[in-house]
Amino acid sequence: MNKTIRYAMLLAGMTSLPAMAHIGYGGRDFGSFDGTLGASQTIANQSATGNFGWIDGTDADWGDSHRLRAYRFTLTEDATVNISFQAQVFTPAPTEANPNPTAVEGGLIPGFSLYAGLAHVAPFGADHDGGAGSVAIRDAIAGAGNTEGSFRALTDWAITNDNNDPASQFTYIGHIYDGLGVDYGTGLIAGADGVADQYVSRTFSLAAGDYSIFVGGADYANQDILPLLPYGVSGTVAVVPEPEAYAMLLAGLGLMGAMVRRRAGRG
């Protein structure tokens, strides 16, 4: 579609929505974990606007971070964590501006990327795609006017606030998205989980530090469907055994099984 027409349609869609939130973690901080196995935190009743925010950050013109939700967590020690997100239907709490909210859409096709690093948090101003500093960061890499936003799902990216504070750096660690895989003309986007069940889960072995997760939809074609609706999502971060330890445990169980069988055979 002609870029100008698409932009006009986007603007038309935005006027019917509440004010767009810049990048923030309010209500979406999974908290702090040490290496204690089994520690876990779930955050439900969140929503992303539109069902395409994540996959739109895999293409040549990058993506708009307003179409995703940012989450954070902290590891005080090295740990292996499982991160999962799934579609969720819920009715938002009433507010003064919206005393009778309707239920969110339940059809989120989730995708997420994990990064080391955090966006600016208070007392600093919130990061957003439209500020002069953020545009300058993008133009320096992709050329002037070649991007629709700062979000990149498959690699590092950076963004800043209206005060031009030193940029927030997101160092890419990994990603996953729901379903059999999307190809919008440039080949299959790697990282589909192979099961279209509106659920994604991936395990990462991480060093101590601060992490951001950006979650959004993976329905590339959906970005032309207006108005943009909120799609509900629930997510969990859990400390799990290292893959190596888990493999050793399974091998150990297998060995015990063999010994038991041999003993039984002798009897």
Interface residues toward Ca ion, by CB under 5 A: 56, 59, 61, 63, 178, 193, 195, 197, 199
Closer CB to Ca ion, residue 64 or residue 127? 64
Closer CB to Ca ion, residue 61 or residue 242? 61
Give the DSSP H/E element, type plus range, for residue 92. none
Query: Residue 179's CB: how many other CB atoms inside 10 A?
Result: 18
Question: Whole-number minimum distance, CB 25 to Ca ion, in Å?
Answer: 23
Cα-trace Rg, the chain:
21
Question: Whole-number minimum distance, CB 57 to Ca ion, in Å?
Answer: 6
Whether the CA torsion 67, 120, 76, 31 is positive or negative: it is negative
Closer CB to Ca ion, residue 33 or residue 219? 219
Closer CB to Ca ion, residue 10 or residue 39? 10
Q: Would you call 208 helix, strand, or coil by DSSP?
A: coil
Question: Whole-number minimum distance, CB 154 to Ca ion, in Å?
Answer: 12
Closer CB to Ca ion, residue 6 or residue 261? 6
Helices (H), the chain: 3-15, 132-142, 243-266
Question: Whole-number minimum distance, CB 198 to Ca ion, in Å?
Answer: 7
Torsion of CA 19, 24, 26, 30, to 10 degrees: 140
Question: Whole-number minimum distance, CB 80 to Ca ion, in Å?
Answer: 21
Cβ neighbours of residue 108 under 8 Å, at least 6 residues apart?
Answer: 48, 51, 87, 88, 198, 217, 231, 232, 233
Please give the angle made by the CA atoms of 84, 88 and 91, to the nearest 5 degrees: 140
Cα separation, 132 vs 130, whole angstroms: 7
Question: Whole-number minimum distance, CB 94 to Ca ion, in Å?
Answer: 32
Closer CB to Ca ion, residue 193 or residue 219? 193
Residue with tokens 């096709």: 109
Question: Whole-number minimum distance, CB 63 to Ca ion, in Å?
Answer: 5
Closer CB to Ca ion, residue 33 or residue 170? 170
Residue 138, CA distances (Å) to 14, 131, 155, 206, 236 in order = 23, 11, 13, 28, 31
